[in-house]
């Protein structure tokens, strides 16, 4: 998972096959939104506008049972961001539809160069370190009480994709 809303900018060769892992047909990247607060951070208005301006695509990792509702209702900030996003020009489809579309590009190759995968892994590690540092800083700023977010190492329960590319 990456902190950038434009997943396609971070991983322009997705989906890809890693020959070192033959039992997985394709791998792809996702933008960080595991819990409500990280989802809203990634999808805030300025990032939405940048995604549209870049003509990018976003596959958002989300665990909708963690911090997206108060027990009875969706959180107002989450609802506000989703309604705003729905009003923007874009192609809103499941991740599998977007990934199938990306595989149809003339420049797509099923197996990227090994150096590409290494660079992607280093970028992921850097993103995780920044995320952990930011989370720690928030906890310290809140008197050690945290910000109410759960660990991001949860199973993907829902995947949604948006793209500003037209099929």
* Ranges of each domain in the chain: 7-163
Q: What is the pLDDT of residue 9?
A: 92
SS3 assignment, position 158: strand
Cis link prior to 101 (omega < 30° from 0)?
A: no
- DSSP H helices in 32-164: 36-42, 45-54, 76-86, 95-103, 114-141
| Cα Rg of the chain, angstroms | 16
CA distance 63 to 121: 23
Is the separation of the CB atoms in 161 and 60 below 8 Å? yes
Query: What is the reported pTM?
Result: 0.70
Alpha-carbon span 155 to 144, nearest angstrom: 26
- Alpha-carbon distance 32 to 20, whole Å? 25
Mean pLDDT of the chain: 79
From first to last of the 167 residues of the chain, give the pLDDT tens digit: 677 899 999 888 899 988 888 999 999 999 988 888 889 999 999 999 999 999 999 999 988 888 898 889 999 999 999 999 999 999 999 999 999 999 999 988 888 777 777 776 767 677 767 766 665 666 667 665 444 444 333 333 334 444 444 33
Between CA 26 and CA 43, with CA 108 as vertex, the angle to 5 degrees is 70
């Amino acid at each position: 998972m990456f902190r950038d809303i434009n997943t396609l900018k971070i991983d322009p060769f997705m989906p890809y096959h890693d020959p070192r892992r033959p039992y997985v047909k394709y791998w792809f990247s996702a933008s960080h939104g595991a819990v409500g607060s990280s989802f809203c951070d990634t999808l805030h208005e300025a990032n939405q506008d940048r995604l549209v301006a870049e003509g990018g695509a976003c596959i958002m990792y989300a665990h909708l049972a963690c911090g997206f509702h108060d027990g009875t209702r969706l959180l107002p900030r989450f609802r506000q961001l989703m309604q705003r996003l729905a009003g923007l020009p874009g192609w809103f489809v499941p991740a599998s539809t977007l990934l199938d579309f990306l595989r149809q590009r003339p420049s797509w190759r099923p197996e990227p160069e090994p150096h590409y995968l290494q660079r992607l892994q280093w970028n992921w590690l850097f993103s995780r370190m920044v995320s952990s540092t930011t989370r720690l800083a928030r906890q310290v700023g809140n008197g050690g009480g945290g910000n109410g977010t759960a660990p991001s190492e949860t199973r993907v329960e829902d995947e949604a994709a948006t793209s500003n590319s037209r099929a």
